[in-house]
Amino acid sequence: MVITMGSKRGGSFVSRGSEFVVVANRLPVDRIVGEDGKPAWRRSPGGLVSAIAPVMRSRKGTWIGWAGAPDEEFDPFEEDGMSLHPIAQSAEEVRLYYEGFSNATLWPLYHDVVAPPVYDRAMWDAYVRVNNRFAEAAAEVAAEGAMVWVQDYQLQLVPAMLRKLRPDLRIGFFLHIPFPPLELFWQLPWRRQILEGLLGADLVGFQLPGAAANFVRLCRRLLDARHVKQDVLWEGRIVRARAFPISVDVEELNDLVARPDVRERAQEIRADLGDATVLLGVDRLDYTKGITQRLQAFGELFGDGRLSPGQAVLVQIATPSRERVEQYQLLREEIEQQVGRINGEYGEIGFPVVHYMHSSYDRAELAALYLAADVMVVTPLRDGMNLVAKEYVACRSDLRGALVLSEFAGAAMELRRGAFQVNPYDIDGLKGTLLAALEAGPGEQARRMRTMRRRVTEHDVDRWAKTFLSELENPARPEPADPPPVAVQAG
Ligand code: ADP
Ligand code: G6P
């Protein structure tokens, strides 16, 4: 294949020679209509964009993704040092592929079925169609022998589709969310196609070793694939399954919390909240995040008299997410009722006990919130990693604050020793842990925070990307099989 110099399309430049290509459902920016009625670009929600954007800024590459608006076509453009290559989706495809198969089928299935997954053939057909479009775009944009890094559950068929079109490429795949155990994955009517899609990659990355093990076990049981440890032999190639726990941009957060305006804003937030101890939740409004459990536990502490109004406040920030999917609409209603009930019961004029904001904030405001919070409350029922937990730790160079962290967040594997761990299904346990975190003194806070900060600062997002990409760059070396057990000779 010839590396061309790029071509003009619709008056703008289309690169056909990218040595490094990221393929993700979303671009890092969303097309929105601004307050003045004019179209504008806004940072896209979620952990994937938080992690991949800094990686892309530091490497010259192309990011292929959707601009978040149905029925709109955009030419490739440059933004914030990144080359962006938009992929269109019709309103029907958004409904069936994005809201449907991605977020009503795969999302709940991969998160321990905490909501019932929908199995619908029209949704599957759209998933295949849109995955194909992404694969074709990547095949067009990538240079000979380029590295293509496909992201997340929305695009699991792309690796095999792309390999068919461009066998010269090195293809990596990273799953940002959990990968379910065989017993759950087996429900999926298209389970075989999904596995075969992923096996098109040279390297399949997961957040945790357990997820990589689930994948390898499925390849063996469902496809009869041979494997040596985490190396799966497939169509004459070795496909490596490995864990790469994702992380945050520590440098960006360090810079933010060093800014005088951010520190002033943190003080202002605290002053607005009175003398109360500040608990903070920051999540996309998603049923996997355990927001209702968090609210219930917090509210009950007032009902039990273990907390009194004025003593503690919970600031809950929930980014609007997937608002046309039914489960998300139901969740929003439930949370808003819960907040109303708690404030109605325990709040006083001008002093609610829960401050609930259904909106998205910029990075500086988030950093100020992290600095203002005494206790960060992260209680997902299941989460691939949870970057919010790591962002909080990265922001607390003052060694203050406490992190309450669900055992079901991927981050618990690394932050276990410093966090106050909880099972969010156990409301009484959650209440006890919230109080323990509220009561931790400066010495205990510093000890725990230091342990967590060591891990997060040494394993930041840059290291994550470098580790993945250098593994992808290296040709597969089969993992040595365990030596046969040595017979112990008697006598
Ligand atoms: P998920 O990827 O499921 O959304 P993560 O916790 O891994 O969960 O990542 C969420 C990302 O979105 C973090 O980088 C966090 O800072 C950002 N974020 C979450 N809520 C908000 C908000 N209200 N405003 C702006 N950014 C947010
Ligand atoms: C999680 C997923 C991402 C997704 C993000 C936001 O982080 O792993 O793939 O982009 O949530 O969700 P959305 O549906 O708005 O893209």
The pLDDT of 141-156, averaged and rounded, is 97
**pLDDT for residue 54:** 85
Q: How confident is the model at residue 312 (pLDDT cuts 50, 70, 90)?
A: very high
**Separation between Cα atoms, residue 399 and residue 450, nearest integer Å:** 6
The yes-or-no verdict on residue 221 having pLDDT over 50 is: yes
- Residue 258: count of CB within 10 angstroms of its CB: 11
Q: What are the structure tokens assigned to 312, written together?
A: 């503690």
| The model's pTM | 0.94
Model confidence pLDDT, tens digit, residues 177-213: 999 999 999 999 999 999 999 999 999 999 999 999 9
Catalytic positions, written as ranges: 176, 383
N residues, the chain? 491
Cα distances (angstroms) measured from residue 92 to each of 97, 99, 286: 8, 10, 23
Q: How confident is the model at residue 162 (pLDDT cuts 50, 70, 90)?
A: very high
**pLDDT for residue 47:** 87
Nearest to 281 by CA among 180, 340, 357, 188: 357
With H, G, I as helix, E, B as strand and everything else as coil, classify residue 241: strand
Cα distances (angstroms) measured from residue 449 to each of 170, 228, 366, 369, 382: 39, 39, 19, 17, 23
Specify the higher pLDDT residue, 489 or 376. 376
Rounded distance from Cα 321 to ligand 2 centre (Å): 9
Pocket of ligand 2 contains residue 86 by CB under 6 Å: no
Contact 162, 138 (CB under 8 A): yes
In this structure, are 225 and 275 located in the same domain?
Answer: no
> Which of 243, 271, 294 is where one domain is finished?
243
**Separation between Cα atoms, residue 61 and residue 84, nearest integer Å:** 9
Closest ligand to the CA of 315: 1
Specify the higher pLDDT residue, 477 or 70. 70
**Separation between Cα atoms, residue 430 and residue 423, nearest integer Å:** 7
The pLDDT of 86-95, averaged and rounded, is 97
Residue 33 lies in a domain: yes
The yes-or-no verdict on residue 469 having pLDDT over 60 is: yes
Q: How many domains does the chain have?
A: 2
Strand ranges (E), 183-236: 203-206, 226-228, 231-234
**pLDDT for residue 478:** 62
In this structure, are 392 and 427 located in the same domain?
Answer: yes
Residue 138 lies in a domain: yes
Q: Which among 49, 50, 378 is the best mutation to test ligand 1's pocket, defined by most ligand atoms within 8 Å of the CB?
A: 50
Residue nearest ligand 1's atom 16 by CA = 388
Residue nearest ligand 2's atom 5 by CA = 46
**pLDDT for residue 476:** 65
Contact 77, 9 (CB under 8 A): no
Rounded distance from Cα 282 to ligand 1 centre (Å): 7
Q: Is the four-CA dihedral 354, 360, 365, 368 of positive or negative sign? A: positive
Pocket of ligand 1 contains residue 252 by CB under 6 Å: no
The pLDDT of 35-52, averaged and rounded, is 88
119 CB burial (10 A radius; 0-12, 13-18, 19+):
middle
In this structure, are 275 and 333 located in the same domain?
Answer: yes
**Separation between Cα atoms, residue 397 and residue 453, nearest integer Å:** 8
In this structure, are 325 and 403 located in the same domain?
Answer: yes
**Separation between Cα atoms, residue 32 and residue 87, nearest integer Å:** 16
Residue nearest ligand 1's atom 22 by CA = 360
Residue 211 lies in a domain: yes
Q: In 354-416, which ranges are continuous DSSP H helix? A: 363-372, 387-395, 412-415
Contact 94, 28 (CB under 8 A): no
The H or E element that residue 470 is part of is: helix 461-473
In this structure, are 290 and 182 located in the same domain?
Answer: no
The yes-or-no verdict on residue 215 having pLDDT over 60 is: yes
**Separation between Cα atoms, residue 285 and residue 92, nearest integer Å:** 24
**pLDDT for residue 81:** 81
**Separation between Cα atoms, residue 77 and residue 84, nearest integer Å:** 5
In this structure, are 140 and 207 located in the same domain?
Answer: yes
In this structure, are 191 and 309 located in the same domain?
Answer: no
What is the chain's mean pLDDT, rounded? Answer: 93
Rounded distance from Cα 115 to ligand 1 centre (Å): 21
Residues contacting residue 80 through CB under 8 Å, at least 6 positions apart: 28, 29, 53, 57
Closest ligand to the CA of 319: 1
Q: In 175-290, which ranges are continuous DSSP H helix? A: 182-185, 191-198, 209-223, 250-258, 260-272
With H, G, I as helix, E, B as strand and everything else as coil, classify residue 295: helix
Cα dihedral 256/260/266/267 (nearest 10): 170
Contact 246, 464 (CB under 8 A): yes
Nearest to 15 by CA among 205, 170, 143, 178: 143
**Separation between Cα atoms, residue 215 and residue 270, nearest integer Å:** 46
Q: How confident is the model at residue 422 (pLDDT cuts 50, 70, 90)?
A: very high
Residue 303 lies in a domain: yes
Lowest mean pLDDT among 45-49, 83-87, 244-248, 478-482: 478-482
Cα dihedral 283/285/288/292 (nearest 10): 90
> Which of 215, 243, 271 is where one domain is finished?
243
The yes-or-no verdict on residue 491 having pLDDT over 90 is: no
In this structure, are 191 and 260 located in the same domain?
Answer: no
The bridge status of strand 237-243 relative to strand 7-9 is: unpaired
Residue nearest ligand 2's atom 1 by CA = 46
Q: What are the structure tokens assigned to 183, written together?
A: 């017993």
**Separation between Cα atoms, residue 326 and residue 305, nearest integer Å:** 36
> How many CA atoms lie less than 13 Å away from 372 in the CB half-sphere?
28
In this structure, are 129 and 203 located in the same domain?
Answer: yes
Residue 488 lies in a domain: no
Q: What are the structure tokens assigned to 17, written together?
A: 């020679």
Q: What are the structure tokens assigned to 93, written together?
A: 């495809």
**Separation between Cα atoms, residue 335 and residue 283, nearest integer Å:** 13
Lowest mean pLDDT among 49-63, 135-149, 338-352: 49-63
The yes-or-no verdict on residue 5 having pLDDT over 50 is: no
In this structure, are 412 and 362 located in the same domain?
Answer: yes
Residue 96 lies in a domain: yes
Residue 466 lies in a domain: no
In this structure, are 414 and 380 located in the same domain?
Answer: yes
φ and ψ at residue 309, rounded to 5 degrees: -55, 140
Cα distances (angstroms) measured from residue 94 to each of 5, 117, 347, 385: 33, 17, 41, 26
Domain of residue 147, CATH code: 3.40.50.2000
- Domain with 239 in it: 18-243
**Separation between Cα atoms, residue 380 and residue 290, nearest integer Å:** 5
**pLDDT for residue 479:** 61
Closest ligand to the CA of 289: 1
Pocket of ligand 2 contains residue 293 by CB under 6 Å: no
**pLDDT for residue 109:** 98
The pLDDT of 57-66, averaged and rounded, is 90
The yes-or-no verdict on residue 13 having pLDDT over 80 is: no
> Which of 243, 275, 303 is where one domain is finished?
243
Model confidence pLDDT, tens digit, residues 99-111: 999 999 999 999 9
**Separation between Cα atoms, residue 360 and residue 460, nearest integer Å:** 24
In this structure, are 235 and 288 located in the same domain?
Answer: no
Residue 377 lies in a domain: yes
